Amino acid sequence: MPKSIVSPDDSNKTTVKDLIGSPMMIPARVLSVLQLAFLSGALLRNAGPNANGLVSYEESTPLFLDGDPELVGEFAEIPVRAGQKGLPRIAQSTPQGLGVRVSKRMRDMNAIGEVNRQITQLTNTMIRADERALRQLFNNPAIPTIAAGAAWDTSNGRPHKDIANAQEVVASAKPAGTTDADANFGFEADTIVMPGSIIPILIGNDSFAAVYNRDQLVAEDIRYTGKLPQKVLGLDGLKSRTFASDRVLVVERGTVGFYSDFQPLEVTELYPEGNGPNGGPTQSWRSDATRERVSGVDQPLAACWITGIRS
């Protein structure tokens, strides 16, 4: 009897047997999800690879030379100004790995849903681990902190004012020991990272919503869209479910810190455990995702925490 087709996908369904027979399919799926999913990749700059899992760097290095250009007469020597360095620091890599299994029983029963569930769980867990490590990195005490004027879930809360104050903290950051009134690092915050629970708070804040009570902005009103506007005071909005729920981070993306991979993210092909037939003695095949990365905050003044946003 000919096979009935009731959906465009019916003629090309992937089975568990197909996944085992094509051992690169699972790692390809995992990598396609994780390629741009890490929050660290959005906030930190890629400093290139490292050779031994150790990276030395300077914290709060001024981004200007120690003098201004001078008038140079004909045949006069052009002056040279020295650069400055910050406090020396060393960061060490942290190897991470996580795998998933496909059993012979899953193959025989064609339990494709169970395999897909494991792939989803693997990618979600890797993303969560990356955000937790990033949260720990941004707990650096050198990053300035300001308190919200009032909690954002109260009638006195003024999110835009607090965010503007944090932007000013970043913009006015000065190198230690400078005596110049207008000397600063030249930072300009472009991103705000909020906890995943921020939406209900901002929906209930009349001060925040009032900004969008104009014809050209009403389409971004959080009370109707249920999501963050594309820009908040010119800042790109990002959310994290693992960041603390009582604070937000205002930051210049790509400047505040770096990451350097000793071993970039890689996912192995599906291979039999024990190297025997039918998946070896455990009758299973597995794929492993691994990464070894060094991360550091080398410009902590390019960020500012706003605390006390929740009562």
pLDDT value of residue 3 = 45
Domain ranges of the chain: 13-62+85-139+261-296, 145-256+300-307
| CATH class of the 145-256+300-307 domain in this structure | alpha beta
Task: Give the pLDDT score at 171.
Answer: 96
pLDDT digit string (tens) for 179-228? 677 778 889 999 999 999 999 999 889 898 888 766 556 667 777 677 77
| pLDDT at residue 175 in the model | 85
Instruction: Give the per-residue pLDDT at 215.
Output: 58
Q: What pLDDT does 274 receive?
A: 83
Query: What pLDDT score was predicted for residue 191?
Result: 97
- pLDDT score, position 21: 93
- What global pTM score does this model have? 0.86
Whether the domain at 13-62+85-139+261-296 and the domain at 145-256+300-307 fall into the same CATH topology: no
Q: 13-62+85-139+261-296 is classed in which CATH architecture? A: 2-Layer Sandwich (3.30)
The DSSP string of the chain is: -PPP--STTGGG---HHHHHHSTTHHHHHHHHHHTTT-HHHHHSEE----SSSEEEEEET--SS-SS------TTPPPP-------EEEEEE-EEEEEEEEEEHHHHHHT-HHHHHHHHHHHHHHHHHHHHHHHHHHTT-TTS-EEE-SS-TTSTT--HHHHHHHHHHHHHT---TT---TT--------EEEEETTHHHHHHT-HHHHHTT-STTTGGG-HHHH-S--SEETTEEEEEESSS-TTEEEEE-TTTS-EEEEEEEEEEPPPEEGGG-GGGGGGTEEEEEEEEEEEEE-S-GGGEEEEE----
Residues in the chain, pLDDT under 70:
1-12, 82-83, 179, 213-219, 224
pLDDT on residue 37: 93
Distance CA 180, CA 174 (A): 9
DSSP string, 122-168: HHHHHHHHHHHHHHHHTT-TTS-EEE-SS-TTSTT--HHHHHHHHHH
